[in-house]
Amino acid sequence: MEFVWDWFLWLNQEHGIKLTIFYDDWDRGRFFRGVWTTIHLSFICIVLSVIIGIIGAWLQMSHLVWIRRIVQGYIQFFRNTPPLIQLYFFYFAVDAALSSLAGIRGGVLDSYGWAVVSLSFFAGAFNVEIFRAGVEAVPRSTAEAAEALGYTRRQVYQYVTLPLAFRVCLPALNNNLINLLKTTTVAYAIAVPETLYVANQIWSDEYNVQEMMNVVWVLYIALVGVLVWLMHRWERSIKVPGFGQ
């Protein structure tokens, strides 16, 4: 790898292209730590948002009106407000309120924790509607057949309706999860040390804004490309004739 680092150093010396993240140990270390933060922040938020979507779609079928109204209120709040405003709301308002109520000094969660909470709820609101649409696409006769076999309402949803609905809604779910990966950049606003935040620190120190912005652009193309490839492979692997094709 030393040959690669030396080549980038030569590129700077000969052509003025200052990519310090490749030949400076300090910049390279903090940049790749930022990339890793982006990856695991995205992964945790993806998992939590899918769980929220599944549970929310189940609650929307509740016989209790007040539960359905709570879910609808949650959906409308998070779908109709900007994710950056939501992030600020959780980090400054909710954290201060909870800290005051619990008598905790220094905040209940750090910036990373509130980024996970805010982004998961944001993407989860869209996932609830995506899963609801998938559930409604499953023929009612399929659920009735499961009920005739003695399945409870929860078992029908868990073992029959949800697996079929998942195949129907997977393309829309893929789009939302890809958008979530890109939306993690708003965590920069509350000093989560993800890729954009670290890149800003580097270009402020090294005065290489153009180079670092291009690096960040290429990096997100690569991350999104990998996620798209994985999701498409997953989509093909679980196809069932008549559902989700």
pLDDT in tens, 217-229: 999 999 999 999 9
Query: Is residue 18 helix, strand or coil?
Result: coil
User: Per CATH, which fold does 2-237 belong to?
Assistant: MetI-like fold (1.10.3720)
Predicted local distance difference test score (pLDDT) of residue 242? 59
Predicted local distance difference test score (pLDDT) of residue 13? 79
Average pLDDT over residues 185-190: 95
Lowest mean pLDDT among 40-44, 84-88, 156-160: 156-160
Q: Where do the structural domains in the chain lie, given as residue ranges?
A: 2-237
Predicted local distance difference test score (pLDDT) of residue 67? 93
Taking 60 as the threshold, does the pLDDT of residue 167 lie above it?
Answer: yes
pLDDT in tens, 27-42: 999 999 999 999 999 9
**Could you tell me which residues come within 8 angstroms of residue 206 by beta carbon, excluding any fewer than 6 positions away?**
18, 20, 27, 212
d(CA 202, CA 98): 35
pTM, to two decimals: 0.91
Range of 76-80, 96-100, 135-139 with top mean pLDDT: 76-80
- Of residues 32 and 9, more confidence is placed in 32
Predicted local distance difference test score (pLDDT) of residue 241? 64
Taking phi first (over 0 means left), then psi (-120 to 50 degrees means alpha), and beta for anything else, what does residue 242 get?
left
